[in-house]
Chain A
């Protein structure tokens, strides 16, 4: 039985700020960048109003923001921040340090295109560029998911089996700025779910002095530390699912690392992440009414990638389209496509697959385009198209 919740009409960014406030971080590093700005702006308001007792650190760049987070986390604090696009790219070396030092930092990323040319709108170029930095990565479709993912992130990051930084991402402007209907836990329920953080080693614990950020090269231990990091992110899958199940019970909103629509008997499936999944379901619902066995598979957790869950979900499907909102220049396809096709390799019977690069720099993803993808899938299954090709969806 889910707890009582308040229904609000608000944006994804404000829902993220609310989730952060309810998690009561000790430190927040703030460097605003479009379209993340309203997260740190809203949070600044909570600090000014005295609603949180967070050390709000205004830094001079995203590189410093992540550095401040790492320092505070090593000191033993619960730490959060938010960024987007060039800001995330500017954090790059620090993202590796956060995960290598096993700092359970929680960060929101407003997914936005990378320059050049300059663009402030949504795609996944920024986050996909950070996919191998050792962070757990959630994708939100809606403001509600952005809120839910943020609360769950805290639990996953600080879990003793994981102790890794977690990024919860939401699509720039589409999810960050449009008003959406969402349900908010009470402060008490949220705080109870998130719990308090007790660091294993804190730099400010002077009774038990520790040294952080050490050198591990000539002794040959760097290799082992990286393996430990890999083991931790692999282990995080189970933690993500357990925390998700617990949250689902509390909130009444189901959670899974991959979420299917019409997948039981689907023949033509679109795999999507983020806000586009809604459009896909809309078109799939219309197709179902016409007797086409359409399905949608949304990937909600991208790192660790749910290989077995994806493979299991699309077993027996005739044709699959993978939508990528970012490029992987010179590769066989977009980042999501590479993961999905890799997940398929060990299956006895594999569906045909096709990759679409779509919506770069906020290019409109109209229903007609999604319809075109399903039409292509039918053609692909009928042998009209070749499997494995890459299509720039809707580009001139």
Chain B
């Protein structure tokens, strides 16, 4: 896509390929990432309930990770966690020339 000229893009920004949303990684917007302390976590699953991006990964009724490709860092999980088990940690600034 980076090499396409303007006329090679699908007309009117139509996406003619179905089921492509999983390729759309939105985690790049994030300035802070959630980090979970397994020792404090009571597995109440409120973070999973509240996450607006379904980015809390659950298996066997237990939280085990976050989907950082789609987590936008809104911090709702950390705010709602009754056990203070989630902390929002700043993302490293990787843009060249920006500090």
Is A9 among interface residues, defined by CB-CB distance under 8 A? Answer: no
* A188 interface hit (Cβ, 8 Å): no
Structural contact, A211 and B14, CB atoms closer than 8 A:
yes
Q: Is A291 an interface residue (CB 8 A)?
A: no
Complex CA distance for A163 and B14, rounded to whole angstroms: 13
Q: Which residues of A contact B29 (CB under 8 A)?
A: 218
B16 A225 Cβ-Cβ under 8 A: no
- Decide if B18 is an interface residue (CB 8 Å cutoff): yes
Q: Are B14 and A214 in contact (CB under 8 A)?
A: yes
The interface residues of chain B lying within 8 Å CB-to-CB of A50 are: none
Whether the pair A102, B12 counts as a contact (CB closer than 8 A) is yes
CB-CB under 8 A from A225, the residues of chain B are 6, 9, 12-13
In this complex, how many residues of chain A approach chain B with their Cβ under 8 Å: the count is: 22
Given the complex, which residues of A lie within 8 Å of B9, measured CB to CB? 221, 224-225, 228
Q: How far is the CA of A3 from the CA of B4 in the complex (A)?
A: 46
- Chain A residue contacts of B1, Cβ below 8 A: 221
Interface centre among B4, B6, B18, B28 (most CB of A within 10 A): B6
Interface residues of B in 24-56 (CB under 8 A from A): 28-29
A179 to B1, CA, bound (A): 55
Instruction: Tell me, rounded to whole Å, the shortest Cβ–Cβ distance linking B26 to chain A.
Output: 9
CB within 8 Å for A214 and B13 given contacts A224-B4, A225-B6, A231-B7? yes
* 8 Å CB contact of A210 from B6, B7, B15: B15
Report if A103 contacts B (CB, 8 A). yes
Give per-residue flags for A205-225: 1 if the beta carbon is below 8 A from chain B beta carbons, else 0: 000111111101010010011
Give, as a whole number of angstroms, the nearest-CB distance from A147 to chain B. 29
A338 at the interface (CB under 8 A from B): no
Contacts of A362 in B (CB 8 A): none
Partner of A209, one of B11, B18, B28: B18
Docked pose: A227 CA to B6 CA in angstroms: 6
Chain B nearest CB from A148 CB (Å) reads: 28
Closest 6 CB pairs of A and B: A102-B12, A227-B6, A209-B18, A224-B6, A211-B15, A101-B12
- A102-B12, A200-B11, A201-B10 given. 19 additional CB < 8 A pairs? A100-B13, A101-B14, A201-B11, A201-B14, A201-B16, A210-B14, A210-B15, A210-B18, A211-B15, A212-B12, A213-B13, A214-B13, A214-B15, A221-B9, A224-B5, A224-B6, A225-B6, A228-B6, A228-B9
